[in-house]
Structure 1
Amino acid sequence: MDFSIKLLVSEAIRTVVNHADWIGWNLFLAFIPLVLSVFLFRRTPIVKTAIEYRHRSLFWWLGVAVFVAFLPNAPYILTDIIHFVNWVRAGASIWVVTLIYVPLFVVFLTAGFEAYVMSLMNAGYYLKQRGLRHYVFPMELTLHALSAIGIFLGRFLRFNSWNILTHWNDVAASLVGDVFDRQPMITIVITFIILTLLYALVKPLHFAMSHYWKYRPQPERSQFVIPNS
């Protein structure tokens, strides 16, 4: 048993070391929109009038554009499940798959999608605080659709978020010539449906947890009093 545990620990270390580069990089990209959403939508002062709302600074709008460009990187992590399939097909033992690969990918995929959910919820919070609650659902659907397109561009055409600036002509050509073909559109629509359903399942859990922590019963303070000597 000791020898088996040593083998599992050794395999776990080897797996993390050999794949830390792309796992860490993808997580870094996934958390960029989350960090941006905090600064753009949570720390932005609440405007009082429609005129103030329309006169957001150019820097703020550039931040929103960067947020939208990097947002697909968060749910993109879900597509990294293909690495899990490849590892299993490589002939790993059931113990390695169960005790190493599965926990690693559960944490990895959950972290990426959580970053996506929290990013959209922060954007929704911004709209609600400004009396634009009725725009929250259309905003979510729009970002699901854009993220589905971004995931396709990243996974199948191997574009990155910054290629919108560095290779904008190639991205535009791919959007016109590749994305709107029948097969890519089917893939994008399926991705959109998956993102929408997963988000619809996870978002209420966030609200439930937030409500619990906000209104959870506080422990009673001790009534013990030290008597005067």
Structure 2
Amino acid sequence: MKEISTQWQIRFFLIAWIIILKFVMKAPYNFMSFNVFLAYVPIELGFQLRRFADRRSLAFWGLLILWIVFYPNAPYVITDLFHLAWLHPHTSISGILRSDPHMWFIFSLMIISAFACALFGAISLLQTSRLLTMMTTPYHLQWRLVWITLCSFISSVGIYIGRFLRLHSLYILMTPSWFIKQLLA
């Protein structure tokens, strides 16, 4: 029997995880399936980049731009852990953690989501930076660190925009003029 590639294992896991979150997470945590889906997009785009790895390929550069737009969603899921406070995990009198199974179940789902998105996002960043280095400066491999730093900075700005300005990557594609107005407001 043929072994399933790592890419397909990641795809199966994330798609199954999104479906699980969609059916299991209720308000106020029902946003998690959408956020994990947005985190999956750059991971999948990163897989597709390899298929078009030619510096003359418009498809490669187009996918790379999309990857840059969506990449901040992968580490962004970590910031969703702030919403764990909605669970009120501590008792009001002693401050000791409650032993509510439902609370710990939601906690587990959110931790797994944050860890998986951060891990697979980091793998995507490493693979994309390697590809970008090979395409632009194949004889200067130290540029990989430059690409990682640049993408991390862009991602930090994207996380800020998402968390505090409440703008999603999809808005850039669907309503770019509105998105820019929101940034400049």
Relative to the length of structure 2, the TM-score reads 0.70
Deviations 1:135-185 (A, max 9, x none): 1111111111111111111111111112224333343344445xxxxxxxx
Q: Cα distance 1:21–1:99, how it changes in 2: closer, same or farther (>3 A)? A: closer
> Which residue is equivalent to 1:82?
82
- Among candidates 124, 129, 152, match of residue 129 of structure 2: 124
- What is the DSSP-based 3-state SS (H/G/I as helix, E as strand, rest coil) of the residue aligned with 1:18? coil
Pair 1:38 & 2:47 matched: yes
Partner amino acid, structure 1, of 2:170:
W
Aligned pairs (5 A) from 1:212-223: none
> Which residue is equivalent to 1:96?
100
> Which residue is equivalent to 1:16?
24
Aligned pairs (5 A) from 1:1-229: 16-19=24-27, 21-40=30-49, 42-45=50-53, 53=55, 56-88=56-88, 94-96=98-100, 99-127=104-132, 129=134, 131=138, 132-176=140-184
- What is the DSSP-based 3-state SS (H/G/I as helix, E as strand, rest coil) of the residue aligned with 2:112? helix
Partner amino acid, structure 1, of 2:62:
L
8 Å contact from structure 1 (residues 70, 161) kept in 2: yes
Give the structure with the higher percent helix. Answer: 1
Instruction: Give the whole-Å Cα distance in 2 for the aligned partners of 1:127 and 1:69.
Output: 16
Instruction: Give the whole-Å Cα distance in 2 for the aligned partners of 1:17 and 1:176.
Output: 34
Deviations 1:64-99 (A, max 9, x none): 111111111111101101211121269697122774
- Please identify runs of 4+ aligned residues in structure 1 that moved more than 6 A: 90-93
Relative to the length of structure 1, the TM-score reads 0.58
Tell me, which stretches of 5 or more residues in structure 1 are unaligned?
1-12, 48-52, 178-229
Tell me which structure has the larger Cα radius of gyration: 1
8 Å contact from structure 1 (residues 29, 73) kept in 2: yes
Give the length in aligned residue pairs: 155
Identity value in percent: 26
8 Å contact from structure 1 (residues 75, 112) kept in 2: yes
Tell me, which stretches of 5 or more residues in structure 2 are unaligned?
1-20
Q: Cα distance 1:111–1:155, how it changes in 2: closer, same or farther (>3 A)? A: same
Instruction: Give the whole-Å Cα distance in 2 for the aligned partners of 1:124 and 1:67.
Output: 11
